[in-house]
């Protein structure tokens, strides 16, 4: 007998454990369900809170679960799970509960901890029989939803029979209330963040618009200042004495300086607003450095400053935004000349290293103190290098840093006070993946029949010709110097070539001669577009057409049509 009783007890024990385990599993599943919703729908609070009331009702084995949120000084029904008629639901929603002991919600809010009323009809303090009638509950339990110690709402479960909730149900409900509170906080944070972001976007747009219109407003009078000083300096309306000329030059260069400053402010605001778009092309770094040196040569020689340029072998063309990189080079060079005392030296070096092109500008100037070396790249900082003759804008290095970073590169300074500074920047060498390189390896890949090679070192001419040719359904590949141009034509076998005469490396005449001398390229029609009016010479050397710059749209289209591939030309 004892054995049988023991076996019965054991069976009950096993059964109880099995039930507990199943329950625990179910709770775990529900909790992770709520957590999943919580993580997914940060902006969809309703989904989270609905999932909370559903799980609370199921796991506490309640008939109805509800969330009341504190609005003003009363609790208002926000979510319900369970079998409640539409009428009753509406009644509850329309009758907020006061913060007093007359309801469970009020009591939970006052006590700030879980509360239970085992039988509402037997509770002497309960003061809302109307709510009880419409809710139809007898036993009710609730826990506060706390945010930073403040009650923001109450999570409540009801049973229609008198059947008090267990300790375990209280714990569960507390877990859910905590999750609901977190969800509310997350949504508040997300909403606040979105509102702030929207405000910032509006502010940033206003700033950009303001700068754009300011820049126009400031430019217009500046153009007059610069233009009229030029008129006088050109002596269009009479001679000048030395003093007058000197002052006019001061007016003119101050105007130019202001214009530069304006452009830098505008560029910088464009970078900050993420609106600066790079226009990468392939160009010769050596020439860009030469261009920069040419611009500072006059000032350097006035101050007896020696200039040097050393480009290591292996520094080929780079692919980057030519105008922007030139801007960086000019900025570093003019700083170096500005901060180098009379009789000093500025050395420019370029080399490639680990897939990058490095450019350094070393001066024998005043140097930059260690504590200023980071700061100097931030807006309106000039370190301690504020010489009395300084007219730097304080924006140049900031802008240079942004430009280099847009190219995926970096900029730095090494310096010793009193000895000099070396500013350097590195950008990816960007092994030029041009159509020409592809064509040399695999000539079949590029459709030479629809391609025009434009050989011109003037960006504006290339832009213009590109627009015209693209309108005619052609693809344009451009080269900035004669040597590169000949390589491109050999590699691409284009339908035609548009050739400028005044070019770096090989000039247009040499390009024309070498194309006509090579059987592989002799048959490709060449249209010369140049400021030089030397039509007979061009035609004698084998050019198919000769246009003098500036060219009209019709002139170009007509020449393309007569010399180019048999294509369907738009009749304009």
Contacting residues toward other proteins, per CB under 8 A = 216, 219-224, 226-228, 230-231, 234, 236-237, 259, 279, 460, 463-464, 467-468, 471, 531, 547-555, 558, 572
Q: Which lies closer to other proteins via its Cβ, residue 153 or residue 564?
A: 564
Compute the least distance from the CB of residue 227 to other proteins, in Å.
4
Compute the least distance from the CB of residue 235 to other proteins, in Å.
10
| Phi and psi at residue 259, to the nearest 5° | -65, -40
Compute the least distance from the CB of residue 547 to other proteins, in Å.
7
Assigned token pair, 555:
């002139």
Q: Which residues of 62-74 are buried (b: 16+ CB within 10 A; e: fewer)?
A: bbbbbbbbbeeeb
Compute the least distance from the CB of residue 561 to other proteins, in Å.
8
Compute the least distance from the CB of residue 233 to other proteins, in Å.
8
| Phi and psi at residue 371, to the nearest 5° | -70, -15
What is the DSSP pairing of strand 139-147 with strand 115-117? antiparallel
Among 416, 559, 434, residue whose Cα is nearest residue 492: 434
Q: Which lies closer to other proteins via its Cβ, residue 221 or residue 355?
A: 221
Question: What is the DSSP track for 284-324?
Answer: EHHHHHHHHHHHHHHHHHHTT-EEEEEE-TT--EEEE-HHH
**Residue for token digits 């004495």?**
241
Q: Which lies closer to other proteins via its Cβ, residue 43 or residue 223?
A: 223
Per the CB < 8 A criterion, the answer to whether 499 and 282 are in contact is: no
Cβ of 365: how many Cβ atoms within 10 Å? Answer: 24
Q: Which lies closer to other proteins via its Cβ, residue 23 or residue 272?
A: 272
Compute the least distance from the CB of residue 415 to other proteins, in Å.
35
Per the CB < 8 A criterion, the answer to whether 416 and 367 are in contact is: yes
Tell me how long the chain is: 572
Compute the least distance from the CB of residue 221 to other proteins, in Å.
7
Q: Which lies closer to other proteins via its Cβ, residue 155 or residue 547?
A: 547
Strand partners, 494: none
Q: Which lies closer to other proteins via its Cβ, residue 389 or residue 572?
A: 572
Per the CB < 8 A criterion, the answer to whether 318 and 283 are in contact is: yes
Among 95, 92, 44, 68, residue whose Cα is nearest residue 152: 68
Q: Which lies closer to other proteins via its Cβ, residue 255 or residue 508?
A: 255
């Amino acid at each position: 007998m004892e054995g049988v009783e023991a076996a019965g007890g054991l069976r009950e024990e096993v059964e109880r454990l099995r039930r507990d385990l199943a329950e625990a599993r179910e709770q775990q599943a529900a909790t992770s369900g709520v957590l999943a919703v919580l993580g997914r729908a940060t902006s969809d609070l309703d989904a989270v809170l609905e999932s909370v009331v559903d799980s609370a009702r199921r796991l506490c084995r309640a008939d109805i679960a509800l969330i009341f949120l504190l609005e003003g000084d009363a609790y208002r029904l926000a979510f319900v799970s369970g079998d409640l008629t539409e009428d009753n639901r509406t009644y509850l929603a329309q009758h907020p509960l006061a913060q007093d002991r007359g309801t469970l919600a009020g009591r939970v809010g006052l006590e700030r901890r879980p509360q239970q009323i085992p039988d509402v009809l037997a509770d002497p303090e309960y003061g809302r029989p109307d709510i009880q009638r419409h809710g139809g509950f007898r036993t009710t339990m609730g826990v506060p939803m706390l945010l930073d110690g403040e009650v923001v709402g109450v999570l409540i479960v009801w049973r229609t029979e008198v059947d008090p909730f267990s300790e375990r149900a209280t714990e569960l409900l507390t877990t859910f209330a905590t999750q609901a509170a977190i969800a509310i906080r997350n949504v508040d944070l997300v909403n606040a963040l979105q509102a702030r972001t929207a405000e910032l976007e509006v502010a940033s747009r206003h700033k950009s618009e303001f700068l754009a219109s300011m820049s126009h407003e400031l430019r217009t009078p500046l153009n007059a200042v610069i233009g009229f000083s030029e008129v006088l300096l050109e002596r269009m309306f009479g001679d000048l004495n030395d003093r007058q000329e000197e002052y006019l030059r001061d007016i003119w260069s101050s105007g130019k300086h202001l214009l530069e400053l304006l452009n830098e402010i505008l560029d910088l605001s464009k970078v900050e607003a993420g609106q600066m778009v790079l226009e990468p092309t392939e160009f010769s770094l050596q020439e860009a450095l030469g261009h920069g040196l040419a611009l500072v040569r006059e000032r350097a020689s006035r101050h007896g400053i020696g200039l040097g340029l050393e480009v290591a072998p292996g520094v080929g063309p780079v692919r980057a935004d030519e105008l922007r990189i030139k801007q960086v080079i000019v900025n570093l060079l003019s700083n170096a000349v500005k901060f180098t005392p009379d009789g000093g030296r500025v050395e420019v070096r370029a080399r490639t290293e680990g897939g990058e092109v490095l450019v350094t500008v070393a001066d024998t100037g005043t140097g930059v103190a260690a504590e200023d070396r980071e700061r100097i790249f931030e807006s309106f900082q000039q370190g301690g290098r504020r010489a009395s003759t300084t007219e730097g804008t304080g924006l140049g290095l900031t802008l240079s840093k942004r430009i280099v970073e847009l190219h995926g590169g970096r900029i730095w300074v090494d310096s010793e006070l009193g000895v000099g500074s070396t500013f350097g920047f590195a950008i990816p060498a960007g092994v030029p993946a041009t159509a020409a390189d592809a064509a040399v390896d695999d000539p079949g890949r590029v459709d030479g029949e629809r391609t025009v090679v434009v050989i011109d070192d003037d960006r504006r001419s290339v832009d213009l010709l590109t627009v015209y040719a693209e309108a005619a359904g052609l693809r344009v590949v451009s080269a900035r110097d004669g040597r590169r141009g000949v390589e491109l034509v050999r590699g691409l076998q284009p339908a035609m070539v548009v050739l400028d005469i005044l070019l770096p490396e090989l000039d247009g005449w040499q390009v024309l001669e070498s194309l006509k001398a090579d059987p592989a390229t002799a048959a490709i029609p060449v249209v010369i577009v140049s400021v030089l009016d030397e039509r007979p010479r061009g035609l004698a050397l084998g050019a198919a057409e000769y246009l003098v710059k500036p060219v009209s749209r019709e002139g170009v289209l007509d020449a393309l049509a007569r010399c180019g591939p048999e294509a369907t030309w738009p009749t304009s």
